[in-house]
Amino acid sequence: MIIFGIDPGTAVTGYGVIKTTNNSVSWVDSGVITTDTAEKLPVRLEMIYDRLFEKIRQHKPQRVCIEEAFYGKNVHTTLVLGHARGVAMLAAQKTGAQIVEYSPREVKKAITGNGNATKDQIAYMVRMILSPPVEYSHLDAYDALAIAVGDFHMAKTDGLKKVYLK
């Protein structure tokens, strides 16, 4: 099975693709989509949608996993992040893949065993599990891979209960 993970953001969106075989996972692709923060939001959202749609179509995943919005003190930031999540969901929906959401805490716990793990701890564990051939300066690529790997582990225990039904 191919699993595509997305760590949405309007400035940097991470994506990660893994392949599962029996009880093992392997790296397929990962990276980031960066947008110019000087551009208007609709232009940036279009770029995120286009690049994600291309990547999802290229890899043909059965599942696309998207990180849920983190609800912090800044409501505006949460709302803007919702736009990035929306275009990510639309890109996945257009390809026919199952769409699943996970909270940051669920992903951290699945990857490190600690729901309060730092981004550096997540990146370290992803490197240990998948050995991606590229070192990323943006941790969002590792976060996206973590979402995909977390889905692989959580799907086995949660019975795929978070899948959006078509």
Residues with a catalytic annotation lie at 7, 67, 140
Name the residue among 36, 8, 1, 5 with its Cα closest to residue 132: 5
- The b/e string for 148-159 (b: 16+ C-beta within 10 A; e otherwise) is bbbbbebbeeee
In the block, which residue shows the tokens 């919005």?
Answer: 69
Q: 149 CB contacts (<8 Å, ≥6 apart)? A: 5, 18, 25, 110, 111, 126, 129, 130
Q: Rounded to whole angstroms, how far apart are CA atoms 113 and 61?
A: 26
Q: Rounded to whole angstroms, how far apart are CA atoms 89 and 103?
A: 15
